[in-house]
Amino acid sequence: MRTLLLGRQGQVGSELLIRLAAHGEVTAPARAVLDVSDLHALRRAVVDAAPDLIVNATAWNDVDGAERDPKGAYRLNRDVPALLGEEAARRGALFVHFSTDFVFDGKGDRPYREEDRTNPSSIYGSSKRAGEEVLEGSSALVFRTAWVWSLTRKSFVSTMLSLARSKEELSVVDDQVGNPTYAADLAEAVATLVTHEAARAGGLFHLAGGGSVSRYEFARAIFALDPRKDEHVLRAVHPVKSEAFPTPAVRPKHAPLDCEKAARVFGVRLRDWREALAAGLGA
Ligand SMILES: NC(=O)c1ccc[n+]([C@@H]2O[C@H](COP(=O)([O-])OP(=O)(O)OC[C@H]3O[C@@H](n4cnc5c(N)ncnc54)[C@H](OP(=O)(O)O)[C@@H]3O)[C@@H](O)[C@H]2O)c1
């Protein structure tokens, strides 16, 4: 299998790069070589790579920045997957793309299923939803995931670990609930299921870490499981409401994803967030 992977330096992309190599040749241009927002260059890259599998791990992920630059967010989150979906269909290649829990408003009282009504409350969420819409009816595989973390880039986990070493007191929101997803686990699952018979049919799937938790409880687990706790200067962590941290973009409050469909179709389920956190931290 010949793969074109975009976003090789990202949290998910870097983990995918390691795992997709097991399936054959991988072409994975870095951002410095291919800016995917240059759609002509992107199309040329697809033609040159002649892939059987295209994986798009690039995105406009700056949630607050998207409010200031909707055009930029839509270019990355809608126009790029639209072009890749079109090129994949032309070549009969499988296209894998990622979306987000931010397509929901977070006002529900149970984990969201794939068919639940979307209602994004930010430009980032709307642009990612637009990226799903352009792929509807195609044979692309779209995975909605959430709260992706790794230690290799800035993430909630790496930020908390660094704050524990620099602050004596910290306030963390306790009214945002989601599924922490370890980038390595997500990449492992995706690299496995692309070879599954059912992958060819495409579709929209929720794929996130098992279990859900508030940001506050997640932060406490990070501090508790940090194997280098002796370096902490942190003495107190306070739960606060989202209103205590006004941001340009509104975040969904209760947006855990129900991942049963992926388990049913592909037999793939990401482990519980706490187990993944312990493993990722080397606890
Ligand atoms: N992170 C989360 O919490 C989260 C939650 C839900 C869904 N998702 C989705 O999951 C997917 C993977 O996310 P991630 O956390 O792995 O993202 P990430 O770590 O931010 O990686 C994205 C990668 O895309 C690259 N990129 C951005 N703009 C580009 C451009 N114009 N040309 C070429 N490359 C460009 C970035 O380059 P640089 O290395 O130069 O920055 C980065 O390497 C995305 O679709 C994202 O929307 C993420």
Q: Is 271 helix (H, G, I), strand (E, B) or coil?
A: coil
In a domain, 265, yes or no: yes
Q: Is 118 helix (H, G, I), strand (E, B) or coil?
A: coil
Number of domains in the chain: 1
Residue 238: CA count within 13 A, CB half-sphere: 9
Cα of 165 to ligand 1 centre, how many Å? 27
Q: Which residues line ligand 1 (CB under 6 A)?
A: 7, 9-13, 31, 35-37, 57-59, 61, 76, 98, 100, 145-148, 153
In a domain, 30, yes or no: yes
pLDDT band at 175 (very low <50, low <70, confident <90, very high): very high
In a domain, 139, yes or no: yes
State pLDDT tens for residues 139-160.
999 999 999 999 999 999 999 9
Question: Nearest 5°: CA angle at 84, between 83 and 85?
Answer: 90
Q: Looking at residue 212, what is its pLDDT?
A: 98
Are 128 and 122 spatial neighbours (Cβ–Cβ below 8 Å)? no
- Tell me whether residue 162 is exposed, middle or buried, using C-beta atoms within 10 angstroms of its C-beta: 0 to 12, 13 to 18, 19 or more: exposed
Angle between helix axes 273-281 and 215-225 (nearest 10 degrees) is 40
Cα of 58 to ligand 1 centre, how many Å? 4
Q: Catalytic residue at 112?
A: no
Domain ranges, residue 103:
3-150+181-212+255-271
In a domain, 276, yes or no: no
Q: What distance in Å separates the CA atoms of residue 216 and residue 174, rounded to the nearest whole number? A: 5
Work out the average pLDDT over 236-250: 95
Residue 128 sits in a domain whose CATH number is 3.40.50.720
Q: Looking at residue 77, what is its pLDDT?
A: 98
Which residue's CA is the nearest one to ligand 1's atom 10?
Answer: 98
In a domain, 171, yes or no: no
User: Mean pLDDT of all residues in the chain?
Assistant: 97
Q: What distance in Å separates the CA atoms of residue 278 and residue 217, rounded to the nearest whole number? A: 14
Q: What is the amino acid identity at position 4?
A: L
Question: Nearest 5°: CA angle at 266, between 45 and 50?
Answer: 15
74, 112, 124, 216: which one is catalytic? 124
In a domain, 170, yes or no: no
Record the pTM: 0.97
In a domain, 54, yes or no: yes
Instruction: Give the chain's end-to-end CA distance (angstroms, integer).
Output: 36
| Helices and strands in the chain: count of H runs, count of E runs | 11, 12
pLDDT band at 283 (very low <50, low <70, confident <90, very high): confident
In a domain, 85, yes or no: yes
* Residue 104 token pair: 């929901």
Q: Looking at residue 257, what is its pLDDT?
A: 98
Q: Is the pLDDT of residue 127 over 90?
A: yes
Q: What is the amino acid identity at position 243?
A: E
Work out the average pLDDT over 53-62: 98
